[in-house]
Amino acid sequence: MQKSYTDALNNPIFKMISEAAEELSVDSYVIGGFVRDYFLKRNIPKDIDVVAIGSGIKLAEKVASKLEGKPQVSVFKNFGTAMIKSDGIELEFVGARKESYNRDSRKPIVEDGTLEDDQKRRDFTINALALSLNKSNYGTLLDPFDGIADLENKIIKTPLEPGITYSDDPLRMMRAIRFATQLDFQIALPSLQAITENKDRLKIVSNERILDELHKIMLCKKPSLGFSLLHKTELLGLILPELTALQGIEEIEGQKHKDNFWHTLEVVDNISEATDDLWLRWAALLHDIGKAPTKRFHKKIGWTFHGHEFVGSKMVFKLFKRLRMPLNEKMKFVQKMVLMSSRPIILSEDYVTDSAVRRLVFDAGDNVEDLMTLCEADITTKNPRKQRKYHQNFKVVRQKIEEVEARDHIRNFQPPISGEKIMETFALKPSKEIGIIKEAIKEAILEGEIPNEYKAALEFMYLKGAELGLQRTK
């Protein structure tokens, strides 16, 4: 006898769908992510996919009419789907179909089909699992491609020959890698090969969808799993060539530099242990991209990457623009992190002076903790002695930041003396002297010559004015 999984269907919504389907004399099944995540014992997703052997739209309308408050049905006629939002759940209805795809777009040509036709056209065996909502076999699992075994063996496999599945909808190449990263699954070898073979088909996928998957990979526990798969399948070079350009170790006259690609992936994994902030993770991914274009070999000093932080921060803009990512404060944050990514390292290598810390806090402002998190993640040395030393040094820098901040309030620095006050004191019209005095006050505070206070700054202003030969009005 077939096992029944009625406990997966304990939400009363399923009984309601079942009744609605019976009234319409169509069969219906829950399919996709909901069923997969039930068997994986993951958090039950908020979106539930239902397939009807008949019209999905009609079933949605029937269900909506039975639901309290009669929620609106959003119908997507072109796709033959309909969606209802109810009680924080998104129910998506679709009629079972056979599909074939046009080579130049992701839009399928749709024909009605059986449940198995519908399962066949899905992306992965683990996403093709269906639970029956029909009275006769309520809760029965329908798994013609042995998705359950693939769940147990942690394998991503396609129901059809992988070349067909990926070519039909090339977004699935990204999805395969995203699921492998999220679930810590292996992609079956033929699937992996098919992704490489079909990699150029990614160009028919919109940037938005690619980014969506990339962000999901970035937010995984160990993003390097996904990035190494993207690299292995050669998709990464199409999406982020700036990153693949970092791969490789060059050796001249016995001097080598580290492989900055694999180093970067380690940094991303490290930072992911410390933060869930997507944009700080992006900063980690991009912190070294300026190293490829700035790499030089000098006979005396060996390999250098002078100015890579500056070049890298400029590259961030181009990269965001190309991928149609938001060119807003998120991008500016990533740029700032890349630009400043070596600053705390220089600090931690040396004796840490208060003035250097004040300058760091002044330049980083509210992002100083994020910057420290990035720099700590950047420690990838395998030498335990060095690793301990660097972490210890950063601890000292963090402590100093707190001390200096408590005393000097440099974060979000506001000049203690305004331009108006300077003009009034020396009877000046707008002129370059005002800028000179303001800058001198700021410098004196950052250098620790005077405290960040009004009175001390006023005295300093008098002195500076005298130095410039200015007369005081009072």
- Judged by the rule CB under 6 A, the positions of this chain that interact with ligand CTP are 32-33, 45, 47, 49, 122-123, 127, 169, 171-172, 175
Name which of 143 and 370 has its Cβ closer to ligand CTP. Answer: 143
Instruction: Report, in Å, the least distance between residue 368 CB and ligand CTP.
Output: 35
* Four-CA torsion 236, 240, 242, 248, nearest 10 degrees: -10
Return d(Cα 335, Cα 324) in angstroms, integer: 16
Q: Are strands 141-142 and 130-132 parallel, antiparallel or unpaired?
A: antiparallel
Task: With beta carbons less than 8 A apart as the criterion, state whether 195 and 143 touch.
Answer: no
Name which of 123 and 143 has its Cβ closer to ligand CTP. Answer: 123
Instruction: Report, in Å, the least distance between residue 148 CB and ligand CTP.
Output: 15
Q: How far is CA 65 from the centre of its chain?
A: 40
Instruction: Report, in Å, the least distance between residue 456 CB and ligand CTP.
Output: 58
Name which of 49 and 242 has its Cβ closer to ligand CTP. Answer: 49
Task: With beta carbons less than 8 A apart as the criterion, state whether 460 and 416 touch.
Answer: no
Name which of 121 and 464 has its Cβ closer to ligand CTP. Answer: 121
Query: Is the sign of the CA dihedral 303, 304, 309, 315 positive or negative?
Result: negative
CA-based nearest residue to 336, from 278, 286, 379: 286
Give the number of residues written for the chain: 474
Instruction: Report, in Å, the least distance between residue 106 CB and ligand CTP.
Output: 8
Name which of 123 and 433 has its Cβ closer to ligand CTP. Answer: 123
For 437-445, the CB contacts below 8 A with 24+ separation are 437/461, 437/464, 437/465, 437/468, 440/464, 441/415, 441/416, 441/417, 442/413, 442/415, 445/358, 445/408, 445/410, 445/413, 445/416
Instruction: Report, in Å, the least distance between residue 47 CB and ligand CTP.
Output: 6
Name which of 122 and 291 has its Cβ closer to ligand CTP. Answer: 122
Instruction: Report, in Å, the least distance between residue 34 CB and ligand CTP.
Output: 7
CA 109 vs CA 91, 100, 173, 424, 465: distances in Å = 23, 5, 20, 76, 79
Task: With beta carbons less than 8 A apart as the criterion, state whether 132 and 44 touch.
Answer: no
Of all residues in the shown chain, the one whose CB is closest to ligand CTP is: 33
CA-based nearest residue to 96, from 111, 109, 82: 111
Return d(Cα 10, Cα 37) in angstroms, integer: 15
Name which of 182 and 342 has its Cβ closer to ligand CTP. Answer: 182
Instruction: Report, in Å, the least distance between residue 7 CB and ligand CTP.
Output: 20
Instruction: Report, in Å, the least distance between residue 337 CB and ligand CTP.
Output: 28
Name which of 46 and 324 has its Cβ closer to ligand CTP. Answer: 46
Instruction: Report, in Å, the least distance between residue 44 CB and ligand CTP.
Output: 11
Return d(Cα 36, Cα 122) in angstroms, integer: 13
Q: Exposed (0-12), middle (13-18) or buried (19+): which is 276, by Cβ within 10 Å?
A: exposed
Instruction: Report, in Å, the least distance between residue 260 CB and ligand CTP.
Output: 31
Name which of 98 and 314 has its Cβ closer to ligand CTP. Answer: 98
H helices of 124-277, in order, are 147-152, 162-168, 171-183, 189-197, 207-218, 223-232, 236-239, 241-244, 260-274
Name which of 216 and 400 has its Cβ closer to ligand CTP. Answer: 216
